[in-house]
Copies of this chain bind each other. A is one copy, B any other.
Amino acid sequence: MVLFRRLLGEVLRSRRMEQGRTLRQLCGDARVSLGYMSEIERGQKEASSELLAAICAALDVPLSEILSEVSDAVALEEAAMVLRLESGLDSVRGPSNDGDVVASAA
């Protein structure tokens, strides 16, 4: 399952690091605790919409831009998941590939 908060955390973290800012600096600007922000970046906590807006403001990046990046990252994971399922089907079918085996991807 592709989880929004994990990819959101990765995008927020990479934006912060591009700007050469520490977690501590960003937390001061966004008025969020260091521990909470760290958990958000690691995808362990959900950020409320208000907090997400505050983080975007502290990063000086529009929310739409962050969401667009997250959408792209999610699309990549979705595609990779389809590929894994397809290769799983291939390996169940095996080398004979007679087409009679119906494999469950679940």
A residues contacting B by CB (< 8 A) are: 1-6, 46, 48-50, 52-53, 62-65, 67-68, 70-72, 74-75, 78
Number of copies: 2
Pick the contact of A75 from B48, B52, B64 — CB < 8 Å? B64
Task: Across the interface, name the chain B residue whose C-beta is closest to A3.
Answer: B49
Identify whether the interface residues of A are mostly helix, strand, loop, or mixed. helix
Report the bound CA distance from A70 to B64 in whole Å.
Answer: 8
Whether the Cβ atoms of B46 and A62 lie closer than 8 Å is no
From residue A85, how far is it (CB to closest CB) to chain B in Å? 14
6 contacts between A and B (CB under 8 A): A1-B50, A3-B50, A4-B67, A6-B49, A46-B49, A68-B68
